[in-house]
């Protein structure tokens, strides 16, 4: 019998009733083939029951093991049986009678959509009220104990030596810093940590990387489970660690990565003794890749709006996973502090297309001043086949309904979600010069999206200023990635790509930018989207004092000269070029837009939007004003409101479909 066919007794929703299981200890004489025994009972959250909650990955639904639940044989996934066996063995060793545990797969009737909807709405309370949450990261490996020991050491270092660093984005790393200054002291301490992590051929760093690669960090429900738990313990096999050590260790590694990115030549030579396979750039790349896998779990803490949580899904290098696409939204609602204001809730009676439209409508009305939802739009989804390879347990019934979905309703599945050019972060940045966002293409124009903005047949009416049609489309940088290597071969490939852009787009640029300095600025700033730092949550533009350094890095890169400035420019360019291609408009504007753009698409500034958008005309005649969203764009020369202020904000009403 599968858990979905278990004869569950109904729950009383009005009293916030839930089920928990009592895990019983393994028998003293038990061996690896003995079965795990559990009992099921009902409790009321209003009675403040004591229980633990389990956070784990379901695993392959086709790979089954059997447990005993209320004297019935029940099939569960192998991963769930493994963690229950470990907990039951711990009870036997400690001579405890039982462990009260909430487990979603067993405590919710997964075959009952109504109950599933009601219980999912309680999950924020279930994890928040649990005495402890057990984060099961999987079985032990050869290096898992090394990773745990290293996490605990990093946590101690973070608390002892970097307590004053509230956010690494506030640290102005400087290769010329005085060793007695605050920055110099921080950098010296980071050098010591580097030396430890990179010794013995990076054994500790590789162990941490393997830890962050575990599938637990990719499960979308983990965001809520980790963020809402008041007390957590991580488990890998029989070993355990405090969940706070994971957060502190991750934070310190982020600082280490930023240090190497900003000042790649400062790290002391002692850090590289004992290894011949690493360098500061290689370690920075390694950290960027591995930390990316765990970023969503760690960054989902604190008071967050739904729009901020949705940004966590836009990480194609380490996409979150769900067995049901609807969970990409439902898993975030329990964390969103404004979910009630938005009027959104989990409802498994609705399909994925309906949920996408409902979420887009709610966010556009609630956050309409920035048009942020449209940042996540990518070409026209409609009836296009999915690009996502199903993850383990993926429910194909929900992958593609075959229904047309408006182009203004993003597909929140991470592998189909573009990474926005700029993110309005909840953090305060010194490195961003106090800017809330990197761009302000709309200038002083505002949007006011109401129920009346949504017309029949999925049409969204907006005010917009037409900029220019695209007449020249460039190629995509192959193998571009936010975690790309900075070695000579990759830099040579990037240099060749940038050289080709120069040859292709220079003639067009001369018709708009006129003077050589303006043309030169357009050519070197467009591949980096006019940004001084890699990540999109850091809003600093190249005009913030390091314009000359980045331009020199661009020149060094084109001339195949190795320099710190060239390495920095290459890092930024690869990140911004990932998933994008250059283009030129009829008047000679240079831009960077989605790879799906075509010649004939048109650049528009939507009123209230921070960035321009590439739109595609839909139909003719009566459909003259109907457009679909291809994606957001960087267009050099109009990112600070120029398109709406040069000749006055000429506008027209357009219909997005």
What pLDDT does residue 434 have?
61
> Residue 211 in 3-state DSSP?
helix
Q: For residue 533, which of 154, 219, 263 has the smallest C-alpha distance? A: 263
Burial of residue 452 (CB within 10 Å: 0-12, 13-18, 19+) is exposed
Strand pairing report for 454-455 and 634-635: unpaired
Which pair of tokens denotes residue 80? 């769930």
In angstroms, the CA 369 to CA 309 distance is: 18
Interacting residues of 415 by C-beta distance below 8 A, sequence separation 6+:
316, 319, 387, 388, 389
In angstroms, the CA 77 to CA 172 distance is: 48
Angle (CA) 635 638 641, round 5°: 140
Which pair of tokens denotes residue 266? 């400062």
In angstroms, the CA 543 to CA 531 distance is: 9
Interacting residues of 2 by C-beta distance below 8 A, sequence separation 6+:
64, 74, 75
User: Could you report the per-residue pLDDT of 193-229, keeping only the tens digit for each?
Assistant: 999 999 888 999 999 999 999 999 999 999 999 998 9
What pLDDT does residue 96 have?
78
Q: What is the DSSP string of 376-396?
A: G--S--TTPPP-PPP-TT--G
Q: For residue 609, which of 632, 581, 591, 630 has the smallest C-alpha distance? A: 632
Per-residue 3-state assignment (H helix, E strand, C coil) for 437-482: CCCCCCCCCCCCCCHHHEECCCEEEEEEEEEEEEEEECCCCCCCCC
Q: What is the DSSP string of 85-126?
A: HHHHHHHHHHT-S-EEEE-HHHHS-TT-HHHHHHHHTTHHHH
What pLDDT does residue 403 have?
59
Nearest-Å Rg of the Cα atoms of the chain is 26
**Which parts of the chain have pLDDT scores under 70?**
3-4, 29-33, 264-278, 369-370, 380-403, 425-435, 479-489, 620-624, 646-649
In angstroms, the CA 599 to CA 583 distance is: 9
Which pair of tokens denotes residue 503? 């040859």
User: Could you report the per-residue pLDDT of 390-448, keeping only the tens digit for each?
Assistant: 333 333 333 444 458 999 999 999 988 999 998 876 544 445 556 678 999 999 888 88
Q: Do 530 and 440 meet the contact criterion of CB atoms below 8 Å apart?
A: no
Angle between helices 547-558 and 488-513 in degrees, nearest 10:
120
In angstroms, the CA 319 to CA 219 distance is: 9
Q: Do 157 and 193 meet the contact criterion of CB atoms below 8 Å apart?
A: yes
Q: Do 209 and 147 meet the contact criterion of CB atoms below 8 Å apart?
A: no
Percent of the chain at pLDDT exceeding 90: 61
What pLDDT does residue 482 have?
44
Q: Please report, to the nearest 10 degrees, the dihedral formed by the alpha carbons of residues 260, 262, 264, 265 taken in order.
A: -130
Which pair of tokens denotes residue 653? 């009403």
Neighbour tally for 500: CB within 10 Å? 13
Reported as half-sphere exposure (CB side, CA atoms, 13 A), residue 346 has a value of 25
User: Could you report the per-residue pLDDT of 483-507, keeping only the tens digit for each?
Assistant: 444 456 678 899 999 999 999 999 9
Q: Do 315 and 295 meet the contact criterion of CB atoms below 8 Å apart?
A: yes
Q: Do 507 and 494 meet the contact criterion of CB atoms below 8 Å apart?
A: no
Which pair of tokens denotes residue 571? 């890092």
- pTM given for the model: 0.86
What pLDDT does residue 307 have?
87
Strand pairing report for 652-656 and 626-632: parallel
Interacting residues of 373 by C-beta distance below 8 A, sequence separation 6+:
307, 360, 363, 364, 367, 408, 410
Q: Which residue(s) pair with 626 in the sheet?
A: 655
- Please give the C-alpha separations between residue 82 and each of 36, 87, 169, 485, 506, in angstroms, as whole numbers: 9, 9, 40, 38, 61
Neighbour tally for 556: CB within 10 Å? 20
Q: Do 189 and 174 meet the contact criterion of CB atoms below 8 Å apart?
A: no
């Amino acid at each position: 019998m599968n858990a979905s066919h278990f004869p569950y007794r109904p729950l009383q929703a009005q009293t916030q009733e839930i089920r928990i299981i009592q895990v019983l200890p393994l028998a003293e004489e038990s061996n690896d083939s003995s079965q795990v025994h559990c009992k099921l009972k009902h409790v009321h959250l209003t009675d403040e029951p004591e229980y633990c909650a389990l956070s784990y990955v379901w695993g392959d639904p086709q790979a089954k093991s059997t447990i005993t639940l209320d004297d019935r044989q029940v099939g569960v996934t192998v991963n769930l049986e493994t963690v229950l066996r470990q907990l039951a063995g711990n009870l036997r060793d400690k001579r405890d009678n039982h462990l009260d545990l909430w487990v979603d797969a067993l405590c919710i009737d997964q075959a009952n959509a109504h109950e599933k909807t009601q219980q999912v709405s309680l999950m924020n309370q279930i994890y928040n009220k649990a005495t402890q949450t057990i984060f099961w990261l999987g079985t032990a490996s050869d290096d898992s104990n090394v990773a745990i020991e290293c996490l605990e050491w990093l946590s101690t270092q973070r608390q002892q030596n970097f307590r004053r660093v509230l956010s690494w984005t506030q640290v102005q790393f400087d290769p010329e810093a005085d060793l007695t200054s605050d920055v110099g002291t921080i950098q010296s301490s980071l050098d010591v940590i580097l030396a430890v992590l990179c010794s013995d051929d990076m054994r500790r760093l590789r162990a941490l990387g393997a830890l962050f690669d575990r599938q637990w960090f990719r499960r979308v429900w983990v965001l809520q489970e980790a963020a809402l738990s008041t007390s957590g313990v991580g488990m890998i096999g029989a070993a355990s660690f405090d969940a706070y050590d994971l957060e502190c260790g991750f934070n310190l590694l982020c600082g280490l990565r930023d240090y190497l990115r900003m000042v790649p030549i400062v790290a002391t030579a002692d850090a590289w003794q004992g290894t011949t396979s690493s360098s500061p750039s290689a370690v920075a790349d390694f950290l960027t890749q591995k930390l990316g896998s765990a970023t969503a779990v760690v960054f989902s803490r604190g008071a967050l709006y739904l729009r901020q949580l949705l940004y966590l899904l836009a990480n194609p290098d380490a996409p979150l996973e769900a067995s049901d696409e609807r969970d990409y939204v439902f898993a975030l609602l329990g964390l969103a502090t404004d979910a009630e204001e938005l009027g959104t809730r989990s409802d498994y009676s609705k399909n994925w297309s309906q949920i996408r439209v409902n979420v887009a409508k709610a966010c556009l009305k609630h956050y309409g001043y920035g048009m942020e939802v449209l940042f996540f739009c990518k070409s026209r989804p409609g009836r296009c086949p999915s690009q996502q390879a199903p993850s383990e347990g993926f429910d194909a019934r929900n992958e593609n309904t075959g229904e047309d979905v408006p182009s203004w309703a993003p597909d929140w599945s991470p592998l189909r979600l573009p990474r926005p050019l700029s993110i309005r972060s909840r953090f305060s940045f010194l490195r961003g010069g106090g800017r809330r966002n990197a761009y302000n293409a709309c200038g002083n124009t505002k949007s006011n999206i109401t129920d009346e903005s949504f017309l029949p047949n999925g049409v969204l009416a907006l005010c917009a200023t037409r900029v220019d049609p695209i007449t020249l489309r460039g190629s995509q940088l192959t193998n571009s990635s936010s975690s790309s290597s900075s070695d000579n071969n990759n830099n040579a490939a990037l240099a060749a790509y940038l050289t080709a852009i120069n040859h292709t787009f220079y003639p067009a640029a001369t018709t708009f930018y006129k003077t050589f300095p303006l043309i030169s600025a357009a050519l070197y700033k467009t591949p980096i989207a006019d940004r001084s730092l890699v990540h999109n949550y850091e809003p600093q533009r190249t005009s913030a004092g390091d314009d000359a350094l980045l331009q020199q890095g661009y020149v060094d890169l084109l001339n195949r000269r190795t320099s710190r400035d060239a390495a920095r420019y290459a890092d930024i360019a690869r990140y911004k070029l990932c998933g994008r291609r250059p283009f030129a408009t009829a008047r000679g504007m240079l831009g960077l837009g989605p790879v799906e753009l075509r010649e004939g698409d048109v650049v528009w500034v939507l009123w209230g939007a921070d960035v321009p958008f590439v739109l595609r005309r839909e139909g003719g005649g009566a459909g003259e004003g109907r457009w679909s969203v291809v994606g957001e764009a960087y267009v050099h020369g109009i990112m600070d409101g120029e398109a709406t202020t040069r000749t006055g904000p000429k506008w027209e009403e357009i219909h997005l479909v």
